[in-house]
Amino acid sequence: SVALKKKVEHSIQEKQKVLNHFKKEHGNAKLGDVTVGQVIGGMRSMPGLLYETSKLHHLDGITYRGKDLYQVKEQSPKAPGGSEPLPEAALWLLLTGEFPSQSELQEFQTELFNRGQIPAEIEKLIKSFPKTMHPMTQLSMGVLACQPLSKFAKAYHDGIHKSKYWDPTFEDALDVCARVSRIAAIIFHNCYGDNNKIPTADPALDYGANFAKQLGFNDKTFWELMRLYIVIHADHEGGNVSAHATHLVGSTLADPYLSFSAGMNGLAGPLHGLANQECLKFLLDLQDKLGKTWTEDDIRQYVKDTLASGKVVPGYGHAVLRKTDPRFMCELNFADQFISKDDNLVNLVKACYRVIPNVLEATGKVSNPWPNVDAGSGALLMHYGLNQFDYYTVLFGVSRAFGVMAAQVWSRGLGLPIERPNSFTLEHLIKKVEHD
């Protein structure tokens, strides 16, 4: 959309002025000390990244351009008759700081639909991936299969001026966001169905509905769930592994396809995107053990047994948050609005929320006993019959494209340099500390 590109260009130019002035005036200002513990401990909380699209607050949760998820949900344009925010509106917000008007939105939806087409020979390549290959491996490879289409790579090769890097990055970022759901739909049918019979996308539908439709789901409330799911998982500031990996690889001027694929390899790790699978497994095991006639005491005992056996309770705790994750609250509100009161698994999720924080708190060591986003998402997907656990991280990946690709436009727009932090061997570290 010409309007979107103009808005992005204008706000990048304005922000560049602020950045240049700030860097000149305060480039040597200190943000804090780095401890040995942080160097050894995964750089936890260490300031080190400029990341424009979102910021995580330890109590309010994630904010997209200053708006928390409740505001995003309330202020976002919706599908006709719908109540959930639209992914394409969130993408516009992440890129510009504002929601699109109704006419801007409609034009943008058509544009994304057109950008989502994948050339037949690349679709054929993605359809040839083995059924048994993990869906996340297929996602990363599917994105790479589209890399020859990169407009940034071509423009760089043709000698584009560095002040214009953001322009082909913007083009690629929108293409990646548009294409990733088509890649994900092919993967779904590669793994669990017949990839010769993928339902076609409909130009009259929005992004979330079209994605759900291509997966083979025609329940309109599932379409609402997909819209919400994509919006709430899109971005979680810059330090999480998928965002940081995308940012790091992008800082080499690797194009958006190469960098997003790298981010997806990080998302595929069990401590990051794969955690939602673990969480659903925990709930299903709980359901298997307790059946339908459980009490909160039964859950309490089950959780205590889990802790006593040296395992963590998946879906609870967070490295930064110190309150119930608003993303979990969005899932809970969705369940209250759309899911019948006799869904046993969803009822278990709610009961766990009443029971588990107290049990974790009583251990005296858990920094945040409250649920994170993973505590609810699997039960909602199961309710609609999406029970292919291995695929859940792919849904997360589709969503994450919206945040990390918007962020990459801004990283190129602000001219951010290649990342190169300092590293130490343990011997160097010991020497340095002993000498100081």
Q: Would you please indicate which residues are annotated as catalytic (active-site) residues? A: 272, 318, 374
Nearest distance from C-beta of residue 229 to ligand FAM, angstroms: 13
Nearest distance from C-beta of residue 63 to ligand FAM, angstroms: 16
What is the Cα–Cα distance from 40 to 370, expressed in whole angstroms? 26
Using CB under 6 A as the binding criterion, the count of chain residues that bind ligand FAM stands at: 18
Q: Indicate the pairing of strand 67-68 with strand 61-64.
A: antiparallel
151, amino acid identity: K
Site for ligand FAM in 119-148 (CB under 6 A): none
Largest CA distance in the chain: 68
Placement of tokens 């609005």 in the chain: 337
Nearest distance from C-beta of residue 310 to ligand FAM, angstroms: 9
* Secondary structure (3-state) at 179: helix
- Residue 86 is given by DSSP the state P
Question: Considering beta carbons, is residue 314 or 413 the nearer one to ligand FAM?
Answer: 314
Stretch 217-256: interaction string toward ligand FAM, x if CB under 6 A: ----------------------------------------
Going by C-alpha positions, the residue among 84, 67, 64 that lies closest to residue 334 is 84
| Secondary structure (H, E, C), 42-56 | CCCCCCCCCCCCEEE
Binding piece for ligand FAM, criterion CB under 6 A, among 77-85, 133-141, 366-374, 415-423: 366-374
* Secondary structure (3-state) at 157: helix
Site for ligand FAM in 310-329 (CB under 6 A): 312-319
Told to check if 212 binds ligand FAM by CB under 6 A, we report no
Question: Considering beta carbons, is residue 8 or 352 the nearer one to ligand FAM?
Answer: 352
**Element of type H or E holding 220:** helix 220-232
User: Which residue, judged by CB position, is nearest to ligand FAM in the bound state?
Assistant: 317
Binding piece for ligand FAM, criterion CB under 6 A, among 93-101, 216-224, 284-292, 309-317: 309-317
Nearest distance from C-beta of residue 193 to ligand FAM, angstroms: 27
DSSP string, 95-151: HHSSPPPHHHHHHHHHHHHHHT---HHHHHHHHTS-TTS-HHHHHHHHHHHTGGG-H
Binding piece for ligand FAM, criterion CB under 6 A, among 96-104, 149-157, 289-297, 358-366: 358-366
Return the residue of 272, 300, 323, 350 that touches ligand FAM, per CB under 6 A: 272
Told to check if 372 binds ligand FAM by CB under 6 A, we report yes
Q: How many helices (H) and strands (E) does the chain have?
A: 20, 3
Q: Which long-range contacts (CB under 8 A, 24 or more apart) does 150-155 make?
A: 150/255, 150/256, 150/257, 150/258, 151/175, 152/255, 152/256, 153/255
The end-to-end CA distance of the chain, in Å, is 56
Told to check if 367 binds ligand FAM by CB under 6 A, we report yes
Binding piece for ligand FAM, criterion CB under 6 A, among 6-14, 81-89, 258-266, 308-316: 308-316
Told to check if 368 binds ligand FAM by CB under 6 A, we report yes
Binding piece for ligand FAM, criterion CB under 6 A, among 84-92, 150-158, 294-302, 359-367: 359-367
- Residue 360 is given by DSSP the state H
Question: Considering beta carbons, is residue 290 or 366 the nearer one to ligand FAM?
Answer: 366
Return the residue of 17, 365, 420, 435 that touches ligand FAM, per CB under 6 A: 365
157, amino acid identity: H
Told to check if 167 binds ligand FAM by CB under 6 A, we report no
- Residues in contact with ligand FAM by CB under 6 A are 272, 275, 307, 312-319, 360, 365-368, 372, 374
